[in-house]
Chain A
Amino acid sequence: DAGVIQSPRHEVTEMGQEVTLRCKPISGHNSLFWYRQTMMRGLELLIYFNNNVPIDDSGMPEDRFSAKMPNASFSTLKIQPSEPRDSAVYFCASSLGSVGLQPQHFGDGTRLSIL
């Protein structure tokens, strides 16, 4: 079975540019999560969706970050404008159900570098 698919795997761009990260969850999973991982702060939850609806976006750093899930098989995380401090590895994860009975499955991440 295909796992969570993220694209691109690597992104290098200049400060001020718009960045769009993409995620395809595992088919049939109805919960989707976006995380950010840095050396300083570790792994942090940014936002999660249940059945395509955003449930908790309290981890989104600021208004420059936005996430959408237009359908059950696709989600985007957008940063506009990007800043060097946004450099990190961004992970998408999905799970079955909405009450924490099933584990989260992670993609391989997008390594983002903002120059």
Chain B
Amino acid sequence: KQEVTQIPAALSVPEGENLVLNCSFTDSAIYNLQWFRQDPGKGLTSLLLIQSSQREQTSGRLNASLDKSSGRSTLYIAASQPGDSATYLCAVSQGAQKLVFGQGTRLTINP
């Protein structure tokens, strides 16, 4: 059974810092890995999707990497801003569409 773990569970950093969120998964047979953002009382917003054949994806200040063989992914956020404060969730696909989620990392950026 696929298990997804995100460390740390919560992170608080001052504005302007670069930071890394971690995600690990137990079964390397995945179709893709996705990073989402969830704001309080809202649904999830897809940030980046990495196909199993890819190593990384970038969008603006965000960069996500994937190492399937070691079962790890990282989300790098450059020059953090208070608006980046949210819960970040990692999800891997079991089969083409069935996502298994981690518990998330609650990120707080302090002005």
Q: Which residues of A are at the interface with B, using a C-beta cutoff of 8 A?
A: 4, 31, 33, 42-45, 48, 50, 55-56, 91, 93, 95, 98-109
From DSSP, what is the main secondary structure of chain A's interface residues? strand
Chain A residue nearest in CB terms to B42:
A108
Question: Bound complex: CA of A4 vs CA of B46, how far in Å?
Answer: 13
Q: Is B34 interfacial (CB 8 A cutoff)?
A: yes
Alpha-carbon distance between A98 and B93 when the two chains are bound, in angstroms? 12
Q: Which of B30-47 contact A (CB under 8 A)?
A: 31-32, 34, 36, 41-46
Counting chain B residues whose Cβ lies within 8 A of the other chain, the interface size class is 20 to 34
B102 and A42 form a contact (CB under 8 A): yes
- Cα separation A106 to B97 with both chains bound (whole Å): 14
**Chain B residue with the shortest CB-CB distance to A111:** B41
Complex interface: chain A residues within 8 A of B104 (CB): 42
Contact of A100 among B32, B43, B45, B46 (CB under 8 A): B32
CB distance from B87 to the nearest CB of A (A): 11
Given contacts A45-B100, A103-B49, A104-B99, 12 further A-B contacts (CB under 8 A): A31-B97, A43-B89, A48-B97, A55-B97, A56-B95, A93-B43, A98-B96, A99-B96, A100-B95, A100-B96, A108-B41, A108-B43
Residues of chain B lying within 8 A (CB to CB) of residue A101: 32, 51
A selection of 24 A-B contacts at a CB cut-off of 8 Å is: A42-B103, A43-B44, A43-B91, A43-B101, A45-B98, A45-B100, A48-B97, A48-B98, A91-B44, A93-B43, A93-B44, A99-B31, A100-B31, A100-B95, A101-B51, A103-B34, A104-B34, A104-B44, A104-B99, A106-B36, A106-B44, A106-B45, A108-B41, A108-B43
